[in-house]
Chain A
């Protein structure tokens, strides 16, 4: 196996020998303040045909309860570390870890997130507290994600700068979708077919 390695490295060195290096100029937009980031985020999430609510902190619990009721979601998985005010009365805990089949049988999952991006309407999960392992937000058909307003950054560079690459990350922009049939966008294939986002100010 090391034969392949040495051969490839030798070929590379021969191929680029004497070639000049290239300087990287990063003059594109990077970290910035974005007034109205919450509103833009909500608008962009909605563009993906996900449900979005922007509420005051005091309304979070009621909004979550109403959202679950609206979906008829009774058996709802929660990750460890989800704030109690976001936790439904009789949650399904992932402890000990649920099998894939068990996850497939629940009505939905509630999580927080690590970062959210206004310009692209993206939420990023890093498997940290209140988010859980990646399968939790994948197998259940309904994902309710609570985003705190101070987690919303303006753009992709701001998000990349805040995230830890050592953690497994899942960037989510709307519900699962495909455009493989005549390039018609259809929401809902293998991932959660319904994504609902609650932004708490």
Chain B
């Protein structure tokens, strides 16, 4: 199966280990992974902050880049939700569709029917009716959806002997309705002890530019999230979005808690085979160095494999 990886701009720039982990994982499961290098950003930051012109441009760029693929895998619930849930709304708005259909009912299962194509009619083109356009382009899957719904792989052969708690990010929970997919995957990881996170469905307070536009509330939300994480006694907090984890992890590090953040892909890519683990980007230094890095601010590196403990600050 020919799969395109949309790594997302955040992962590309700040968390390459996550992208590497996805590549390792999908290859291990027999997929032919391509990374279209023309990709940049889904436009979420611009669109959600009110910069429609830039956001629309990036949405169109996304559609152009991924038009030729059967499936696009995204290691981010938030970016997958943007493409699948928000792009069709952009299309409706652009086509002059009248209101009154703003609310779709919740409660249904997650059907990855969203697509990259047809998000917006080009000038002079007839506007595609809402819904139909969704079938035109490739299907966009968040990683856990792709693993379970497409590959049917609950046990991905991972080994990760640590105490882990899982934070369902808002867009994976309420946008994509991932349900228990990530938990089912984590439960099959050998050696992993999964501990439930109290008040897990509460937003961590990241919210993109919300984190800097409303810093007091954002920090207060994260303080509660961190308290709940600490109450679990977990070594690692895992999620499907590195953006939220950057916010949670930044607070965990500032408070010198010793609890580390890891993307779901990095845990699923980890194996008993040290080579395999290294190829997975060493999961931010956890596999080799969990004990020694804990509690040392800055000692956990997000580089590919090298646990250096360097700290420029």
A residues whose Cβ falls under 8 Å from a Cβ of B: 18-20, 22
Residue B108 CB within 8 A of the other chain: no
A162 to chain B, nearest CB (A): 30
> Chain A contacts of B98 at CB under 8 A?
18-20
By DSSP majority rule, is chain A's interface helix, strand, loop, or mixed?
Answer: loop
Identify the B interface with A (CB < 8 A): 98-100
Q: List 7 A-B contacts (CB under 8 A).
A: A18-B98, A19-B98, A19-B99, A19-B100, A20-B98, A20-B100, A22-B100
Minimum Cβ distance to chain B for residue A26 (Å)? 15
- For residue B100, give the distance in angstroms from its CB to the closest CB of chain A: 5
Shortest CB distance B108–A (Å)? 15
Identity of the chain A residue whose Cβ is nearest the Cβ of B99 in the assembled complex: A19
Instruction: Name the residue on B nearest A19 (C-beta).
Output: B98
* Closest 5 pairs (CB-CB, A-B): A19-B98, A22-B100, A20-B98, A19-B100, A20-B100
A114 to chain B, nearest CB (A): 34
CA distance A195 to B305 in the complex (A): 72
Specify which chain B residues have a CB less than 8 angstroms from the CB of A19 in the assembled complex.
Answer: 98-100
**Considering only CB atoms, which chain A residue lies closest to B98 in the complex?**
A19
Among residues of B, the one whose C-beta sits closest to the C-beta of A16 is: B98
- Nearest-Cβ distance from residue A27 to partner chain B, whole angstroms: 12
Closest to B97 in A: A20
Give B101's nearest chain A residue, CB to CB: A22
In the bound complex, CA of A180 to CA of B99 (Å): 36
B100's nearest neighbour on chain A, judged by CB, is A22
A18 and B99 alpha carbons, distance in the complex (Å):
11
Residue of B nearest to A22 (CB): B100
Q: What is the distance, in angstroms, from B267's C-beta to the closest C-beta of chain A?
A: 40
Query: In the bound complex, how far is the Cα of B98 from the Cα of A98, in angstroms?
Result: 56
Instruction: Give the Cβ gap from B93 to chain A, nearest Cβ, in Å.
Output: 14
Looking across the interface, which residue of chain B has its beta carbon closest to that of A21?
B100
A18–B98 Cα distance when bound, in Å, is 8
B-chain residues with CB within 8 Å of residue A22 when the two chains form the complex: 100
CA distance A18 to B100 in the complex (A): 12
